[in-house]
Amino acid sequence: MKPASFLAEIETRHSARHQEDRQRCLPTESSQISFSHNDYLGLSQHPDVIQAAQKALEKYGASARAARLLAGPCPEHQKLETALASWKGTERSLLFASGYLTPVGVIPALVGSGDTILLERQAHACLFDGAKLSDARLRVFSRQDPTSLKTLLDSTRSLNPKGNILIVVESLHSMDGDVAPLREIIRLKSDAGAWLLLDEAHAGGVCGPQGAGYAAEYGLTSSIDLQMGTLGKALGSSGGFVAAQSKIIDHLL
């Protein structure tokens, strides 16, 4: 396809989206009070957070300048990974540049062709993107209906007894505000010999002891294979992380 015809096709598709009232319009009014953000604790505007960021920029600069595997990790990143692992009750943690990039990097590294991902139907788009990049078979279930998860686990094990199964679920759903039935999900995953990746992005900082999330709230940390979180939202900064056993983190590196 020639560039001109490709541009014409893009314009046609955009026009159709506009006619269907599906065009995305960015808000321009800046004097309104926002009830749409996830800065739950207001830390992104806290003077101590801003001052710490300014000092870090002055000391380390605005870029890592090289990949971690080439130049080694930033000392502050190592301290943060240690602190996050302690906070989440795991052996290790690994930082990512954003919350979105965390599942996009983690899920394809864990499962692939011949494996199966069981993902809750209302999960965030980043979890679906990570699943699609993995080449694993993707099936969806209702987070509040453990019987649907059990049905998928049973059928998956029957059809593919040797393949790995990764269950991916959000502890606290961002739009509905409901909490996943973690105890039942963990029981089912243990019975099936599956793995569980728990996304605590919206629970971190606001739920559980010291804001450690629902895994800590219910005392289930040791039964969850991987916990994923963000440094945005309640923590008021930028970045993402996964917390797990040392062997898993070594594999992801």
Q: Which of 170, 171, 173, 200 is catalytic?
A: 170
Chain centroid, CA 114 distance in Å: 23
Structure tokens, 169: 């679920």
First to last CA, the chain: 40
Active site annotation includes 173: no
Q: Which of 148, 174, 223, 237 is catalytic?
A: 174
**84: nearest Cα among 246, 229, 237:** 229
Active site annotation includes 124: yes
b/e map of 212-225 (b: 16 or more CB within 10 Å)?
bbbbbbbebbebbb
**123: nearest Cα among 186, 75, 74, 167:** 167
Q: Which of 88, 124, 173, 189 is catalytic?
A: 124
Active site annotation includes 174: yes
Active site annotation includes 170: yes
Q: Which of 88, 173, 189, 202 is catalytic?
A: 202
Q: Which of 81, 120, 199, 200 is catalytic?
A: 199
* Phi and psi torsions of 32, nearest 5°: -85, 160
DSSP state of 220: -
Is there a contact between 94 and 241 (Cβ–Cβ < 8 Å)? yes
- For the chain, where are the E strands, in sequence order? 92-96, 116-120, 137-141, 165-170, 195-199, 226-230, 240-244
Long-range contact list for 112-116, CB < 8 A, 24+ apart? 112/136, 114/160, 114/162, 114/163, 114/164, 115/163, 115/164, 115/165, 115/166, 116/156, 116/160, 116/163, 116/164, 116/165, 116/166
Active site residues per annotation:
38, 124, 170, 174, 199, 202, 233
